[in-house]
């Protein structure tokens, strides 16, 4: 059962200086142990009294009902702790690819990323893609090798896997110590100290490391060389080459510089079950990871998009806060998780809320004035009130009516708009319908709440297929969305997604339209003759007037065109519009009394139907251009699958080492579940985009 949100005790003091804050996001594949590790860190720091269990559904971060039932994270969660005088905001993110939107939000909130890799598995393709994404945005990264106490674990092999996947900057900061096959402690390569956990989860200084001198000396040299190279400190290099002793504090300072610059990625082995490496990880985060002051905030502008500026992480600077996550709680309503990039957020103050839709999303932009109520520090689902939230820190705000994920909160006197982070396009459509007509409004309200919270969703209301289509990232994402809707009391069902077809004329033809009615008084009289001619795909509709001699008065020529257009939109077959045609009005007859606008509209529509019967119609299906990014090893399987889907490959070209980009035209009907299929074909590593390319004749 999900944890109940609410205030967990009296107000607590928060940090007042950004240098005493670390924001760290945990990234890694599903099952690598991220949530369990966060739980252990909270227990180790006495933030919680007892470590919870993923299997029992008692962890702080997996508080949502769907996460408890599925025993995996389905959303990002923040869990702060204190380690000495430093506040560490731990950000737990889902490892499953469907929840990449939650991962991107976690990356936005953090200043550094810890990649959690299982000692029994190593780095997978999805984790590798996220690593390169972090490198692109310049985020400092470290590596945590988890589950070192599990059967078949091999720390050395896991480190080599990471080095192969991430690059040569991956260097161990500690080496595990063993008693037989059982890990009992760590050896610090920078300090030379041995940490013994054999007697419990509190490390003691060990007299012997259990490792050979050659092994530790080689690993220590590799680490020091990596620190010097990553920090780009010439004086350190000179001292090292001269064989001079370099003080530990100097190396620790250089370590932080090297990590902040992205040139070094320290590795720490950890067991969340036994506690090995937990304290060392906390020490490493505090001493080796950058503070928020060293993280350049995203660019901001005015709400209108002008006057670009770069903010600084200054508690006395202009207020600039971004909503990085939104949830709707049944007890306290909307909860907005916020990152303060500049200034200090105070309770009970007026603020300006600026919102804009991510690229390709249909959401109205909004600017409004609101008042911040209480400011809280979140702990999973729990909230504790704090007197303020300074630049560099994370907080939770309740009952902000207009704020949505990605929105900016600023001072009303100087409103700002922070540039949004990239969110991938959702590519798995799901048609939703309320079980009864009386619940349609409830479904719309529920969807609007979800759209405000999750930028990785898109809603289309099709006027052609009369369906409400929600686009998700994948099956797991769709399942969670349905769970949230039903949990909020909305009775929702799914149905197959329909694709809108078109029709076109197969050849040139003539059409005759006659609309004559007489029922006493004024009647209706209109006759027209047209010629139709198919046009190239994508040309649309053209109407040509070739009436001579006044056979049809000018005021009724427009009526014929209006009737033809209406019939084209309706189609000869229901819900199948006619496209790409030139209609030429060549002749007609009129009556001085009975002719009217309505009569000629009806005659124009009848003439088009007559021409369609004579010419015959081609059914056209929508075709999308897809661009697939995938490892070379899966290229053959993906190309074969595209062929089976009636796809036409436009070309392939190499991307990064070992990766290929495939471009192809594929019928839209074949892409309904392609987000699931291509992931299955590529072991979860491939990604794709799709854009409408046009219509092509449906094979007979």
Longest dimension (CA), the chain: 115
Q: Looking at the DSSP assignment, which residues form a beta bridge with residue 80?
A: 89
* Position with higher pLDDT, 656 vs 62: 62
Start-end of H helices in 187-275: 213-231, 234-241, 248-260
Instruction: Give the pLDDT score at 521.
Output: 66
Instruction: Give the pLDDT score at 8.
Output: 55
Q: How far apart are CA 197 and CA 206, in angstroms?
A: 9
Residues in the chain: 700
Tokens 């890694």 belong to 28
Tokens 């990234």 belong to 27
Say if CB 377 and CB 12 are below 8 A apart. Answer: yes
Long-range contacts of 82-86 (CB under 8 A, 24+ apart): 82/45, 82/47, 83/45, 83/282, 83/283, 83/285, 83/286, 84/286, 85/20, 86/20, 86/21, 86/22, 86/286
pLDDT digits (tens, 9 = 90+) for 561-592: 999 999 999 998 877 899 999 999 999 999 98
Average pLDDT over residues 144-162: 92
Which DSSP symbol is given to 294? G
Q: How far apart are CA 101 and CA 128, in angstroms?
A: 17
Task: Report CA dihedral (42, 44, 48, 50) to the nearest 10 degrees.
Answer: 120
Instruction: Give the pLDDT score at 422.
Output: 84
Q: Estimate the share of the chain in helix, then strand, then coil, as percent rounded to the nearest 5.
A: 30, 30, 40
Instruction: Give the pLDDT score at 599.
Output: 95
Task: Name the helix (H) or strand (E) containing 495.
Answer: strand 492-495
Confidence of residue 63 (pLDDT cuts 50, 70, 90): confident
Give me the DSSP letters along 401-436. SS--TT-EEE-TTS--EEPPPP-PPP-EEEEEEESS
* Helix, strand or coil, per DSSP, at residue 146: strand
Average pLDDT over residues 612-629: 95
Letter string b/e over residues 215-251, b meaning 16 or more CB atoms within 10 A of that residue's CB: ebeebbeebbebbbbbbebeebeebbeeeeeeeeeeb
Give yes or no for residue 280 having a pLDDT over 70.
yes
Which DSSP symbol is given to 62? -
SS (H, E, C) 519-576: CCCCCEEEEEEEEEEECCCCCCEEEEECCCCCCCCHHHHHHHHHHHHHHHHHCCCCCC
Q: How far apart are CA 556 and CA 604, in angstroms?
A: 10
Give yes or no for residue 205 having a pLDDT over 70.
no
Instruction: Give the pLDDT score at 395.
Output: 96
Confidence of residue 4 (pLDDT cuts 50, 70, 90): very low
Confidence of residue 428 (pLDDT cuts 50, 70, 90): very high
Average pLDDT over residues 520-532: 89
Residues 644, 647, 651: CA angle, nearest 5 degrees = 125
Give yes or no for residue 407 having a pLDDT over 90.
yes
Sign of the alpha-carbon dihedral angle for 61, 278, 142, 55: negative
Tokens 């078109």 belong to 502
Task: Report CA dihedral (65, 71, 77, 80) to the nearest 10 degrees.
Answer: 120
Say if CB 433 and CB 493 are below 8 A apart. Answer: yes
pLDDT digits (tens, 9 = 90+) for 370-404: 999 899 999 988 999 999 999 999 999 988 887 88
Confidence of residue 11 (pLDDT cuts 50, 70, 90): low
Give yes or no for residue 126 having a pLDDT over 90.
no
Give yes or no for residue 133 having a pLDDT over 60.
yes
Q: 401 burial class (0-12, 13-18, 19+ CB within 10 angstroms)?
A: exposed
pLDDT digits (tens, 9 = 90+) for 212-235: 678 888 898 999 999 999 888 888
pLDDT digits (tens, 9 = 90+) for 161-192: 999 989 889 999 999 988 888 898 899 898 88
Instruction: Give the pLDDT score at 204.
Output: 59
Residues 6+ apart with CB under 8 A from 17: 315, 390
Average pLDDT over residues 628-637: 93
Which DSSP symbol is given to 122? -
Q: How far apart are CA 80 and CA 41, in angstroms?
A: 10
Task: Name the helix (H) or strand (E) containing 663.
Answer: strand 659-667
Instruction: Give the pLDDT score at 314.
Output: 95
Give yes or no for residue 110 having a pLDDT over 90.
yes
* Helix, strand or coil, per DSSP, at residue 390: strand
pLDDT digits (tens, 9 = 90+) for 466-519: 899 999 999 999 999 999 998 888 889 999 999 999 999 999 999 999 999 977
Residues 6+ apart with CB under 8 A from 621: 499, 501, 667, 668, 669, 695, 696, 697, 698
Which DSSP symbol is given to 262? T
Instruction: Give the pLDDT score at 619.
Output: 94
Of the chain, the end-to-end C-alpha distance in Å amounts to: 54
Give yes or no for residue 362 having a pLDDT over 60.
no
Sign of the alpha-carbon dihedral angle for 7, 12, 16, 21: negative
Whole-number average pLDDT of the chain: 89
Count Cα atoms within 13 angstroms, Cβ side, for 112: 35
* Position with higher pLDDT, 88 vs 419: 88
Which DSSP symbol is given to 17? S
Instruction: Give the pLDDT score at 3.
Output: 44
User: Residue 66 corresponds to which tokens in the numbers above?
Assistant: 């769907």
Residues 6+ apart with CB under 8 A from 221: none
- Closest of 487, 427, 410, 665 to residue 68, by C-alpha: 487
């Amino acid at each position: 059962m999900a944890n109940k949100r609410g205030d967990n005790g009296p107000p607590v003091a928060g940090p007042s200086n950004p240098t005493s804050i670390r924001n760290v996001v945990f990234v890694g594949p599903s099952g690598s142990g991220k949530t369990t590790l966060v739980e252990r860190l909270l227990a180790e720091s006495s933030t919680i009294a007892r470590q919870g269990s993923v299997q029992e559904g008692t962890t702080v971060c997996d508080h949502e009902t769907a996460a408890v039932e599925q025993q995996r994270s389905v959303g990002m969660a923040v869990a702060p702790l204190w380690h000495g005088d430093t506040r560490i905001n731990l950000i737990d993110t889902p490892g499953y690819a469907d929840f990449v939107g939650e991962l991107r939000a976690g990356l936005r909130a953090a200043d550094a990323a810890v990649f959690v890799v299982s000692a029994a598995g190593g780095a997978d393709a999805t984790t590798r893609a996220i690593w390169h994404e972090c490198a692109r945005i310049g985020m400092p990264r470290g590596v945590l090798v988890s589950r070192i106490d599990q059967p078949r674990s091999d720390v050395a092999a896991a480190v080599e896997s990471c080095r192969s996947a991430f690059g040569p900057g991956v260097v161990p900061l500690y080496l595990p110590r063993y008693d037989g096959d059982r890990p009992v402690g760590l050896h610090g390569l920078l300090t030379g100290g041995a940490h013994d956990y054999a007697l419990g989860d509190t490390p003691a200084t060990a007299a012997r490391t259990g490792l050979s001198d050659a092994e530790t000396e080689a690993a220590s040299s590799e680490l020091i060389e990596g620190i010097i190279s990553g920090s780009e400190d010439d004086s350190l290099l000179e001292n090292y080459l001269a064989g001079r002793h370099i003080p530990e504090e100097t190396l620790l300072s250089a370590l932080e510089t090297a990590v902040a610059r992205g040139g070094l990625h320290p590795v720490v082995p950890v067991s969340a079950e036994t506690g090995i490496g937990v304290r060392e990880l906390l020490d490493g985060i505090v001493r080796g990871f950058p503070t928020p002051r060293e993280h350049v905030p995203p660019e901001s502008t005015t709400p209108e998009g002008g006057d670009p500026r770069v903010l600084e992480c200054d508690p006395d600077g202009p207020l600039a806060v971004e909503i990085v996550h939104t949830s709707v709680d049944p007890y306290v309503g909307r909860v907005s998780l916020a990152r303060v990039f500049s200034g200090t957020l105070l309770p009970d103050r007026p603020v300006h809320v600026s919102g804009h839709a991510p690229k390709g999303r249909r959401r109205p932009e909004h600017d409004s004035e609101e008042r911040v109520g209480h400011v809280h520090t979140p702990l999973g689902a729990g909230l504790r009130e704090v007197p303020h939230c300074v630049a560099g820190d994370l907080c939770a705000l309740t009952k902000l009516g207009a704020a949505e994920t990605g929105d900016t909160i600023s001072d009303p006197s100087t409103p700002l708009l922070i540039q949004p982070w990239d969110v991938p396009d959702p590519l798995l459509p799901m048609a939703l319908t309320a079980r009864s007509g009386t619940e349609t409004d409830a479904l719309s309200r529920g969807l609007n709440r979800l759209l405000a919270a999750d930028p990785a969703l898109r809603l289309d209301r099709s006027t052609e297929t009369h369906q409400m289509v929600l686009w998700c990232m994948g099956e797991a994402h769709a399942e969670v969305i349905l769970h949230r809707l039903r949990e909020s009391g909305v009775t929702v069902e799914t149905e197959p997604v329909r694709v809108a077809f078109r029709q076109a004329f197969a050849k040139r033809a003539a059409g005759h339209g006659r609309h004559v009615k007489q029922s006493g008084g004024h009647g209706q009289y209109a006759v027209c003759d047209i010629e139709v001619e198919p046009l190239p795909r994508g040309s649309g509709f053209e109407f040509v007037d070739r009436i001579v001699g006044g056979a049809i008065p000018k005021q009724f020529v427009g009526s014929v065109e209006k009737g033809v257009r209406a019939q084209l939109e309706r189609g000869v077959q229901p819900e199948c519009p006619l496209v790409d045609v030139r209609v030429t009005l060549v002749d007609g007859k009129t009556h001085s009394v009975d002719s009217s606008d309505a009569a000629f509209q009806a005659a124009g529509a009848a003439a088009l139907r007559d021409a369609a019967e004579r010419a015959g119609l081609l059914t056209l299906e929508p075709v999308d251009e897809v661009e697939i990014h995938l490892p070379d090893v899966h290229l053959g399987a993906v190309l074969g699958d595209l062929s089976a889907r009636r796809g036409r490959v436009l070309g392939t070209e190499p991307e990064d080492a070992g990766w290929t980009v495939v471009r192809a035209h594929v019928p839209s009907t074949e892409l309904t579940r392609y987000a699931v299929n291509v992931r299955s074909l590529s072991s979860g590593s491939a990604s794709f985009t799709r854009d409408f390319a046009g219509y092509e004749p449906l094979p007979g």
